[in-house]
Structure 1
Amino acid sequence: MEHYAGIDVSLECSSVCVVDANGKIVREAKVASEPEALIAWFGSLGFGLERIGLEAGPLSQWLFAAMKAAGLAVELLETRHVRNAFKAMPVKSDRNDARGIAQLMRLGWFRPVHCKSLSAQETRSLLTARKLVQAKLLDVENSLRGILRGFGLKVGKVTARTFAGRIQELVAGHPHLERIAAALLAVREILRKEFAAFEKQTRRMVRADQQARLLTSVPAVGPIVALTYASAIDDPGRFTSSKQVGAHFGLTPKKHQSGETDYTGRISKIGDGAVRTALYEAAHIMLTKPVKGCAQLKSWAMRIARRAGMSKAKVALARRLAVIMHRMLVDQTPFNAAAAAA
């Protein structure tokens, strides 16, 4: 008889449930959230498993890769799909979630998701760390401005280089403010150095990554956008059509049709929010800045802007950029303005 398993992954221990082809629970257990422990537990069952499912999450990709390498038929499940499938469950618990995942595997009512490669995960971790340091740097600078504003001291317009000098000038003669400013400026200087180091590492990574280097040939697409997109796509061949990419990143509108009701809503915003933001920012720059090499794309988007507004035009252009960039990765060709506007 065929057997199926579901794993609800937690930080320390994971709930595991095994069911047979009729949906009857065969085994349940709490197993350490370590690849070796899970592989050993499934090996001790004494029978094979048709499919093992685990919901996508922070530990899931690590566990998935190890279990796949061990020869287990494991599937990584889309979180949104699993959550919607469990909405009717009156009791929410790890054990019930594992049972539910096992039943989804048995019935085939699941949507597998791509497990990113190690290089893609490393790229995303760099981008996440860079963004964190950048945000903290801005927090420190804004906090300094806010503290001084309470004493009637206005920083005004300054550059990154003149910021510290301006702060020191304003707090001169105020011993209490001088101590506060000195501490925050010291923190700011450390953050600036680390952010600059991340910037250099990002540029080195783009030069070393053929896909990211190819994407930077697109007007308004810089190293951050290129790395964000390339790491999210990871394997261009997993999409059968470039047109699927816009929907994958939540850049296509929702559709609701029931009886006489039929309307198109806002974009779905499903998928990777970082990619969506990066593409939108590239579209914003393309439409609002003097960028060379994209006149036809820009005129196409401006026609939409005149009809539906600039915000929708930027979203439409972001979606089109997603499609174009995927086709570039598939064909391994640089940006072609004429082909992009076709």
Structure 2
Amino acid sequence: MTYFAGLDVSLEETTICVVDETGRLTKELRTASEPEPLVAALAGLGLPLERIGLEACSLTAWLHDELRAVGLPAVCIETRLANAAMKTMPNKTDRNDARALAQIMRTGWYRQVHVKSRQSRLWRSLLVARRTVLNEMRAIENVVRAILREGGIKLGTPARAAFAGRVREMAADEPLILPLVTPLLAILATMLEQLDRLTRQVLTIVRGEAVCRRLISVPGVGPITALAFRATMMSRSGSDSPGTSGRISRLTPSRYQSGETDIQGKVSRCGDELARTALYEAAHSLLTRSRKWSSLRAWGMQVARHRGMARARVAVARKLAVILHRMWSDGTEFRFGKEPAAAVAAA
């Protein structure tokens, strides 16, 4: 007889539930959310475990890798499907969640989540740290602008490096406002310095990665997008073979169909948010800033003329995901395409 286990992981403790192939409850226990106690608890059961299910969370990748390293059949499953099964329980408890996960493992009603390699997770942490600093800088800058508007000062749109100097220049004659913004400008100066340090780390990594250097040859794709795509698509083994691109960006429309009703909605946004955002920004840069002709940009501008720029960005972003994936897997370079004779004559 085979057995299936569900692990409800929290920060301090993990609840374990084991069921047999008929769904009968076999064993329940709790242990610390650390690899060694988990391995010891599962091995101490003395049961042939077919699958061990973990719901995706902040600790899952670490625990998943450690369990797989000792030969345990750990499976990371998608949170939405796990939540759908857990809602069938009348009460929300760790024990019931573990029981639901065990039954999901037994029935096979789950979608396995791609667990990224440790290297890709560290790269993603670097990108998230940089983005967090950038977002907080924008928030502080907006507070400074709001304070200046109290004195009727309209700052305009100075570059980030010139922001502090511009504020001091325009608020020099406001003795009540300048003391309010000075501490915020000091914080911005420190954050700008650390943002530059994080950006330099990204550039150093991209220079040392042949795949990233190839990807940035695509118009609109910079070091941030290239590293985000590589970190997202890298296989769990950490090799240069990328995973499948179709489900990761989730830049395809959602759909609701029932009987005679068939509604196509906005993009589902169910995939990797970091890669999706980077691809969208790359598409925006390609459509608005790139000056060199390419068949991709020409196609995107045609979509923009018929469907609007917002939809064109999404369409180009999705096509960029396919192109980058193909360039990576085939080791090919970006093809700009042959410019039409009419466009050459017009230029």
Q: TM-score, normalised by structure 2?
A: 0.90
Q: Distance in 2 between matches of 1:268 and 1:160?
A: 33
- 1:177 and 2:182 aligned: no
Q: How does 1:273-292 map to 2 (within 5 A)?
A: 273-292=273-292
Select between 306-315 and 156-165 the one with higher mean Cα deviation.
Answer: 156-165
1:190 aligned partner: 190
The reply on whether 1:238 has 2:237 as its aligned counterpart is no
Quote how far apart the aligned CAs of 1:232 are.
0.6
Report Cα offsets for 1:100-147 as digits up to 9, x if no partner.
110111111111111111110011000011011111222222212211
Between the aligned partners of 1:302 and 1:157, the Cα distance in structure 2 is 27
Q: Deviations over 1:181-216 (max 9, x none)?
A: 332221111111101111111110101122222211
Query: Aligned with 1:75: secondary structure?
Result: strand
Partner of 1:318: 317
The verdict on how the C-alpha distance between 1:183 and 1:248 changes in structure 2, with shifts beyond 3 A counting, is closer
Aligned-pair identity in percent equals: 45
Alignment deviations for residues 157-177 of structure 1 (CA, whole Å, 9 cap, x no partner): 433343323322344355553
After superposition, the Cα gap between the structure-2 partners of 1:264 and 1:160, relative to the gap in structure 1 and judged at 3 Å, is: closer
Deviations 1:16-57 (A, max 9, x none): 101111111111112111011100101111222111000111
- How far apart are residue 280 of structure 1 and its match? 1.3
Q: Distance in 1 between matches of 2:151 and 2:180?
A: 13
SS in 2 for 1:181: helix
Query: Aligned partners of 2:183 and 2:274: how far apart in 1?
Result: 33
CA gap 1:182/1:261 in 2 versus in 1, 3 angstroms: closer
- 3-state SS, counterpart of residue 238 of structure 1: coil
Bigger CA drift: 245-254 or 183-192?
A: 245-254
Matched residues in 2 for 1:214 and 1:18: separation?
Answer: 47
| Contact 1:86 1:100 (C-alpha < 8 Å) held by counterparts | yes
Q: Which residue of 2 aligns with 1:19?
A: 19
Contact 1:219-1:293 at 8 Å conserved across structures: no
Query: What SS does structure 2 have at the residue aligned with 1:31?
Result: strand
C-alpha spacing 1:233/1:293, structure 2 compared with 1 (3 Å): farther
Distance between the aligned counterparts of 1:254 and 1:288, measured in 2? 27
Displacement, 1:274? 1.7
Structure 1 letter corresponding to 2:331: Q
- Residue type at the aligned position of 1:201: Q
**Which secondary structure state, in structure 1, belongs to the residue aligned with residue 160 of structure 2?**
coil
Please show how residues 1-342 of structure 1 align to structure 2 within 5 Å: 1-172=1-172, 174-235=174-235, 236-239=241-244, 245-294=245-294, 296-338=295-337
Q: Structure 1 141/107 Cα, relative in aligned 2: closer, same or farther at 3 Å? A: same
Q: Is the 8 A contact 2:153 2:170 kept in 1?
A: yes
Q: Report the Cα distance in structure 2 between the residues aligned to 1:270 and 1:73, rounded to whole angstroms.
A: 26
8 Å contact 2:86–2:96 — kept in the other structure? no
Structure 2: where are the runs of 5+ without partners? 236-240, 339-347
How far apart are 1:228 and its partner, in Å? 0.9
What do you get for the CA RMSD once the two structures are aligned?
A: 1.9
Cα distance between partner residues in 1 of 2:177 and 2:312: 47
Note the alpha carbon deviations across 1:43-79, whole angstroms, 9 max, x for none: 1112221110001110000000001001101101111
Q: 1:122 is aligned with what amino acid?
A: L
**TM-score normalized by the length of structure 1:** 0.91
CA–CA distance in 2 between the matches of 1:172 and 1:337?
Answer: 51
Q: How many residues align?
A: 333
Q: 1:260 to 1:181 in 2, by over 3 A?
A: closer
Is the CA contact 2:19–2:27 (under 8 Å) kept in the aligned structure 1?
yes
